[in-house]
Amino acid sequence: MRIGYVRCSTEEQNEARQLKMLEEQKVEKIFLDKASGKNTNRAAFQDMMAFVRAGDMVIVESISRIARNTRNLLSIVSDLTAKEVEFVSLKENIDTTTPQGRFMLTVFGALAELERENILERQREGIAIAKGEGKYKGRKPIAVEEELFKAVCAQWRAGEITATAAMKKLGLKPNTFYRRVKEMQL
């Protein structure tokens, strides 16, 4: 079976280009994720890996759609190979059924990882420059009334509510909640 895998990093990104390429490849089933490629904790990816079986072929638009670093890419391809599933990347023209294809997969995987690192470095540099010019101040802090925060923390410390319930009452994520607890020494 010819199986397509499509991934966009955010809900706002459009997968139409990837879907068109896979349609041209006459894929029979498509798995689509709208999630970061930083790891393999993606619902459709996990579903695809559970679905594939010997003789299938997984086709992607480019290797960056299935993995963001060489280690993950090689691990994914190794898992597919163990299941006797072929892997094809259209952009890089990689076919893992040949020794040359496996070699090129490693090279392109390393290049994709390098490009991702370069993007992150440029992003960090841009933020540093913007901060220096006073144009970037980060996220606006979440406003929580201090007395409310103290009251909810008192309930949590007394064991009346769980930390999760306290976070829910305050509308805070765990890292923000615990950081504020530490800052306020509660």
Retrieve residue 12's tokens: 């706002």
Whole-number Cα distances in Å, 76 to 6, 10, 13, 114: 15, 22, 24, 18
Cα–Cα distance for residue pair 137/127, rounded to 1 Å:
9
Q: Which residues are catalytic?
A: 9
Retrieve residue 112's tokens: 């994709």
Closest CA to 170 of 137, 162, 183: 162
The DSSP string of 119-132 is: HHHHHHHHHHHHHH
32, 65 contact by CB (below 8 A): no
